[in-house]
Chains A and B, each alone.
Chain A
Amino acid sequence: MTIVENLRFLGHRIVNAVWRIGYASRFFMMILFYSGTSFRRFHLTIKELFSSGVMSLIIILVAGTFVGMVLGLQGYETLKRYGSESALGSLVALSLVRELGPVLAALLFASRAGSAMTAEIGLMKATEQISAMEMMAINPIARVVAPRFWAGVISMPLLSALFSAMGVFGGYVVGVVLIGVDQGSFWSQMQAGVDFQHDIVNGMLKSFVFGVAVTAIALFEGYDAPPTAEGVSGATTRTVVESSLTILFLDFILTAFMFQGG
């Protein structure tokens, strides 16, 4: 009896999971389908760019600076052993634009802006604002969800670029100003070591993909949240967990394609 019950429970979970993936995919397609409004009435997207992008600036800039400073310190310690401290600029910049910039900025974005999006949409649903909009013959996906999606997708690469820029600045402060690495070699090594196409464009591409993933997850979780306090808090937690894992998983896949050891 218990085996049958367990099997039934397992089957139920699997069916639910598959159903949810299908529902999420359909939701994503609906966002794309109803995206016209976000561009025709771009001021709606700009408003969301402010709340998800501009409001995340502080955390991104501060975190970027500290990560760059740590890279400067650790990089100097390691490079010193091989007598190649002059490569510090190249090490800091490559680590940031290829990996740390896109990944850490996306993780911070997921916890700062993604969770806020989920909570906002979830609460709008719980207080019947979404239903009210539907009853006014206004499509909530077009009016509420799509502008937030595009705001996230646009702001993610920009935030990631700012994160990397601040990181390079942090690395410069620690490496050149505090430790005393030669300024000329710091910048020239960076210029020689970083390729625009291979490193910067690929890094930006990564953060674009992360932007799509994080925002889509955050919006779906909010839209799908049970309309209760518990439901919204659960959805917010799921947003952070799911998007963090998705970012790291996608990062591995994208890195494997982009930098196949070449």
Chain B
Amino acid sequence: MSSQALVEIRDVNFAYDSRPILKGVNLTFPKGKVIAVMGGSGCGKTTLLQLIGGALKPSSGYVKVDGQVIHELDHKGLYRMRRRMGMLFQFGALFTDMSVYDNVAFQMREHTDLPEEIIRDLVLMKLHAVGLRGTHHLMPAELSGGMARRVALARTVALDPMLIMYDEPFAGLDPISLTVVGNLIRRLNDALGATSVVVTHDVQESLKLVDYIYFIANGVVVAEGTPAEISISDKPFVHQFVHGEMDGPVPFHYPSSDYGQDLNLQPRR
């Protein structure tokens, strides 16, 4: 499997100041697959994407993409690598001062010398792929949340990246948009022959569309497996997460001192 791996994360530790976020995680993303990384809010999922994209540097261990260790690349090397990656941000991060068309054309104009007629055709093809060819003249403020996410998706795949990263692609979407975005993630990945990493906590949608799932909690990988394995898993954390139970390994109460003491209650004599 590792010879075909596009992304290898080995013994990665990462801390913000002295607060550890990731503690020796190992993950492998094989070429052509859609992988989900799941876990509760603040467990280090987005940090993981930033480490893959080279925005952060691991305290120890390494992240290898297409055979190259990301934190050892110089500025030029990192930018060359990023041209082959695409990232969909949580709320799309469309450039608000540009139209939908210019947003999708942005990378093509910045990174290629293609004539404007070809860029036009490419932009319309990308927008057609996400079902929004008719919106090319609109401004981002005129789009609904789901549409903005799809336009951002078209922009992400504008240069046909080898690796597509999704940061919470389902957050705040209605059920129809959620299904549409979910399907697009799968279809675009297969059509482009890319590898996708979906960071999410939407269990049901992920189980439907991904090939493999990693669960992260408290900075370590607590479970991994195919959707079929995960849905029948009896590991307490996975069970709580998949079934959305209120209490379990992830406690309902934030650690605190004794309740009775806090309320100044005297034991009854």
Taking a contact as CB atoms under 8 Å apart, the answer to whether B110 and A136 are in contact is yes
Question: Shortest beta-carbon distance, B55 to chain A, in Å?
Answer: 7
Provide the residues of chain B in CB contact with A134, threshold 8 Å: 55, 82
Of the 9-residue stretches B89-97, B112-120, B185-193, B222-230, which lies at the interface with chain A? B89-97
Which of A129, A131, A136, A137 is in CB contact (< 8 Å) with B96?
A129
Q: Residue-by-residue, is B66-92 near A (CB-CB < 8 Å gives 1, otherwise 0)?
A: 000000000000111011010101110
A15 close to B (CB within 8 Å):
no
Chain B contact patch, size range: 20 to 34
Q: If A128-B93, A129-B95 touch, does A143 touch B87 (CB 8 Å cutoff)?
A: no
Question: Shortest beta-carbon distance, B164 to chain A, in Å?
Answer: 11
Give the most central of A129, A135, A139, A143: most B CB within 10 Å.
A135
Taking a contact as CB atoms under 8 Å apart, the answer to whether B91 and A127 are in contact is yes
Provide the residues of chain B in CB contact with A138, threshold 8 Å: 107, 110-111
Question: Shortest beta-carbon distance, A47 to chain B, in Å?
Answer: 9
Taking a contact as CB atoms under 8 Å apart, the answer to whether B93 and A131 are in contact is yes
Q: List the B residue with the shortest CB-CB distance to A135.
A: B87
Provide the residues of chain A in CB contact with B53, threshold 8 Å: 135
Q: Residue-by-residue, is A133-149 near B (CB-CB < 8 Å gives 1, otherwise 0)?
A: 01111110001000000
A132 close to B (CB within 8 Å):
yes
Q: List the B residue with the shortest CB-CB distance to A138.
A: B110
Provide the residues of chain A in CB contact with B95, threshold 8 Å: 124, 129, 132
Taking a contact as CB atoms under 8 Å apart, the answer to whether A132 and B87 are in contact is yes
Taking a contact as CB atoms under 8 Å apart, the answer to whether A128 and B79 are in contact is no
Q: Roughly how many angstroms separate A134 CA and B90 CA in the complex, as a whole number?
A: 15
Q: How many residues of A contact B (CB 8 A)?
A: 13
Q: If A129-B95, A143-B110 touch, does A137 touch B83 (CB 8 Å cutoff)?
A: yes
Taking a contact as CB atoms under 8 Å apart, the answer to whether B96 and A135 are in contact is no
Taking a contact as CB atoms under 8 Å apart, the answer to whether B79 and A137 are in contact is yes
Q: List the B residue with the shortest CB-CB distance to A132.
A: B93
Q: Residue-by-residue, is B171-193 near A (CB-CB < 8 Å gives 1, otherwise 0)?
A: 00000000000000000000000
Q: Roughly how many angstroms separate A134 CA and B55 CA in the complex, as a whole number?
A: 9
Q: Residue-by-residue, is A191-210 near B (CB-CB < 8 Å gives 1, otherwise 0)?
A: 00000000000000000000
Taking a contact as CB atoms under 8 Å apart, the answer to whether B90 and A135 are in contact is no
Q: Roughly how many angstroms separate A139 CA and B111 CA in the complex, as a whole number?
A: 12
Taking a contact as CB atoms under 8 Å apart, the answer to whether B91 and A136 are in contact is no
11 example contacts (A-B, Cβ-Cβ < 8 A) are as follows A124-B96, A129-B93, A129-B94, A129-B95, A131-B55, A132-B87, A134-B55, A134-B82, A135-B82, A136-B83, A138-B111
A residues near B (Cβ < 8 Å) are 124, 127-129, 131-132, 134-139, 143
